[in-house]
Amino acid sequence: MAQSVEMVTERMAVDDRRSVGYRICSRCIMDVSDPEITFDDRGYCNHCERAVSLTQNKLPAYKEGEYRLDRIVSRIKDAGRGRAYDCIVGVSGGADSTYAAYTVRKQGLRALAVHFDNGWNSELAVQNIEQTLNRLEIPLYTHVVDWEEFRDLQLAFLRASVPDAELPTDHAIGALLHHTAARFGVRYIISGTNISTESILPLSWTYYVSDWKYIRGIHNRFGSRPLKTYPSSSLLRYIWHILGRRIRTVSLLNSIQYDRASAIDVLERELDWRNYGGKHHESIYTRFFQAYILPRKFNIEKRRAHYSSLIMSGQMTREEALSAMKQPIADERLLNEDLAYVVKKLNISADEFETIMRAPVRSYKDYPNDLSHYARMRSLWGGAQRLRLVPRQLGM
């Protein structure tokens, strides 16, 4: 590769931290790299205020958490009687999804693990998935997407110049879990998502993963291959899965005292799981996108949101987070290796990658999307839940 980390770094836009208008939250470490951030009179940002609300309303105290977990597990077991599986659990090889699978097994649930293989798994991720599921005695179903299809979709998002270019993977995972649950007649999907480590993530950094209209619109404009093996789900199909098939998504980690460092210690000790060194770095593409493309093109460091979430759940101090942000986002040698690997695997030239990096920044607002429908649906759905006309999603 003719390009290097240093060459791209020289062309980076001036960091917001050098500007006169720079501001950072006085409680977490979110700052104006999110253009939509707001601050109150105390200097607290809207993101950590929302995190406080989520924590107070959705995370249980210890004893209440035990009761809630027992109640959820009992309901899942009842719904699974007479079926091959009680629940579907999504696995990526990362800490959160692996610990969710570990918790499922500890609670005596009969789970089917589901994995979406998009062609970017690291060797360590494959080892972690196989080894931990074997230890837990959980069967695995893997959906392998056609690589040329998925490559075309990923390139479409890169050419669209949006910061949420990992939506194709995230959407496919959600759709695949619902499709698999419907196929096996399973009513419960266990998710590794959790408030303790993921309470903060700006919409300006990553748009809604479930918006198929947005994904399809970008692919129609910048892609060229039909998506025949790619799992997808429209808004109407998603609603049908909830109302018609009564499929529920359970964020099981929200019903326990989930401390990520302690969870990793358990996984390493009991399952010989090996750490990747970064959140979601089980995927080579994710590692490269978060450590290279996002900070250099979009001035986004997801570490800022990850650390802020840990601050708000008491798993990290603000001082520790600020100190960690001073460390390099990734090893320079690894970044250059990932750069060469990604460009080669995507089958594009160095010049085309440079064109992508130099292209004006866009957002979900520049492409067709269902944002207004989602906002309307959330309002109607919340009202229907309060009136007990539709069920709540358990564990949320």
pLDDT tens for the chain, 396 residues long, are 434 444 333 333 334 444 458 999 999 999 999 999 999 999 999 999 999 998 887 766 555 666 689 999 999 999 999 999 999 999 999 999 999 999 999 999 999 999 999 999 988 899 999 999 999 999 999 999 999 999 999 999 999 999 999 999 999 999 999 999 999 999 999 999 999 999 999 999 999 999 999 999 999 999 999 999 999 999 889 889 988 999 999 999 998 889 999 999 999 999 999 987 656 567 899 999 999 999 999 999 999 999 999 999 999 999 999 999 999 998 899 999 999 999 999 999 999 999 999 999 999 999 999 988 777 776 666 666 666 655 555 443
Q: What is the pLDDT of residue 13?
A: 37
Architecture, CATH, for domain 5-11+24-386: 3-Layer(aba) Sandwich (3.40)
Q: What is the pLDDT of residue 336?
A: 94
Burial class of 146 by CB neighbour count within 10 A (0 to 12, 13 to 18, 19+): middle
Helix (H, G, I), strand (E, B) or coil at 335: helix
Q: What is the pLDDT of residue 43?
A: 97
Interaxial angle between packed helices 235-243 and 167-184, expressed in degrees from 0 to 180 and rounded to the nearest 10: 30
Dihedral sign computed on CA atoms, order 18, 21, 24, 26? positive
CB 117, CB 126: distance < 8 Å: no
Residue 47 to residue 49: CA distance in whole angstroms: 5
Q: What is the pLDDT of residue 68?
A: 83
Helix (H, G, I), strand (E, B) or coil at 356: helix
Burial class of 367 by CB neighbour count within 10 A (0 to 12, 13 to 18, 19+): buried
Residue 56 to residue 167: CA distance in whole angstroms: 29
Residue 79 to residue 73: CA distance in whole angstroms: 10
| Distances 9 to 6, 34, 179, 188, 363 between C-alpha atoms, Å | 5, 20, 42, 46, 22
Q: What is the pLDDT of residue 387?
A: 63
User: Would you give the end-to-end CA distance of the chain in angstroms?
Assistant: 46
Interaxial angle between packed helices 167-184 and 212-222, expressed in degrees from 0 to 180 and rounded to the nearest 10: 130
Residue 235 to residue 177: CA distance in whole angstroms: 15
CB 297, CB 259: distance < 8 Å: no
